[in-house]
Amino acid sequence: MKKSILIATAILFLLIIFTVVKIYPFISAMSKFEVVEYDKNLTLVFGGGGNTGILTGEKEVLVIDSKIMGGKSKLFELVKQKAGNKPIILVNTHLHADHSQGNSLYKGNTIIAGAYTKEQWIAENGEEGMPTEWVKDSKEIQVGDETVIIRNKGQAHTYNDTVVFLKKRKILFFGDLLMIGMHPFLKKKDGSSITLYLKKQNETMDEFQPEKIVPGHGRTGDAELVKEFQEYFTDTKSVAEGKSEPDKIEEKYKHWIPFLSMSGTRETINYWREELKK
C-alpha cells in the first residue's frame, strides 16, 4: 500500500516537473514586460502577451494590442499615464487572448478589430471588451503628425488579421502574421492557413515596404524577419512533403518557444500535411 502511494507521488511529481519545464519558456515570454521609448511619441512594449505599440498624439492615444494576464494591467497603467484625459483608440491585430484580453480595461474608448462576426469574437473572448468598430478593408486615422493605416488582410493566422502601418515612421505592426522565435499557433477553427500566411505577408511587404517591422511576438527588425519566418514554413513544408528529416528541422527550431503545448515544429509539420492534402 505504502509503496503504491510512493510510486503515485513520484509519478505526480515527475509529471509536474515535466509540465513546468515544458511551459516555462512560454510563461517566461508572457511575463516579460519590456518598455522601449522608440521616439518622443512612440513606445514599444514587448512581452506580457503580443507586442504592443503606444502612439501618443495631441488629441488622442493609439494602442496596438492589449496583452494578457499581468501584462494587460501593466500596459493599461502605462497607457493611462500617457493618455491622461485624452481618448484612447485601441486596435486589436486579431482575436487571440494574448493580444486582446486587456480590452475590457479600455471600456468607453474606441476598440477596432478586423471584421470578425460577433459570434466568432464572443466564442474566443466573451462579450466584455468586444470591439466597437470592425474594419472590413481599410481605415486611416491621423494621430498627431502620423498617418495610421489599419488594414484588414483577411484570412491567414485567423479569419481577419489586421496590420497597422505608421506611414511617416514607415513602421509596420504585423500582428501574428509574423512571429519570431515563437512557433505560430495554427488552429482550423480560427481560419489559420499557412499558404495564405505566405501570400498575405508578401502582399503586405510589397504594399507598405516598411523600414521597421514589429512582429506579434519576438524582436523587431527589417524585411529579413519575414525571410526568417518564411524559411521556417519552407523547412516544415519540406518535412511534410517527405523531402527532409523531421529531427534535423526540430533541432534547427528547438530554441523557438511553443505556445503551451498547442504549437511547435511537429504541430506546424502536421498542419502543413493537412493543408497539402487539399
Stretch that binds Zn ion, among 91-99, 106-114, 198-206, 241-249 (CB under 5 A): 91-99
**Min dist. Cβ of residue 116 to Zn ion (A):** 13
Binding of residue 67 to Zn ion (CB under 5 A): no
Q: Looking at beta carbons only, is 56 or 101 nearer to Zn ion?
A: 101
Q: Looking at beta carbons only, is 96 or 183 nearer to Zn ion?
A: 96
**Min dist. Cβ of residue 96 to Zn ion (A):** 4
Cell numbers linked to 107: 471600456
Q: Looking at beta carbons only, is 143 or 156 nearer to Zn ion?
A: 156
Would residue 154 be called left, alpha or beta, if left means φ above 0 and alpha means ψ between -120 and 50 degrees? left
**Min dist. Cβ of residue 229 to Zn ion (A):** 14
**Min dist. Cβ of residue 240 to Zn ion (A):** 21
Binding of residue 217 to Zn ion (CB under 5 A): no
**Min dist. Cβ of residue 14 to Zn ion (A):** 32
Q: Looking at beta carbons only, is 49 or 144 nearer to Zn ion?
A: 49
The site for Zn ion, by CB under 5 A, has a size of 2
208 beta partners: none
Taking Cα atoms as reference points, which of 191, 238, 216 lies closest to residue 29?
Answer: 216
* Most distant CA atoms of the chain, gap in Å: 74
Binding of residue 96 to Zn ion (CB under 5 A): yes
* Per-residue x/- track, 170-189, Zn ion (CB under 5 A): ------x-------------
Collect contacts of 227-234 with beta carbons under 8 A, ≥24 apart. Answer: 228/180, 229/178, 229/179, 229/180, 229/201, 230/198, 230/201, 232/256, 232/268, 233/194, 233/197, 233/198, 233/268, 233/272
Stretch that binds Zn ion, among 90-98, 146-154, 190-198, 226-234 (CB under 5 A): 90-98
Question: What number of residues does the chain have?
Answer: 278
- Whole-Å CA distances, 194 to 92, 113, 156, 203, 230: 21, 21, 7, 14, 10
Stretch that binds Zn ion, among 14-22, 71-79, 89-97, 103-111 (CB under 5 A): 89-97
Cell numbers linked to 81: 499615464
**Min dist. Cβ of residue 272 to Zn ion (A):** 18
**Min dist. Cβ of residue 176 to Zn ion (A):** 4
Question: ∠21-27-30 over CA atoms, to 5°?
Answer: 155
121 in Cβ contact with 111 (< 8 Å): no
Residue ranges that bind Zn ion, judged by CB under 5 A: 96, 176
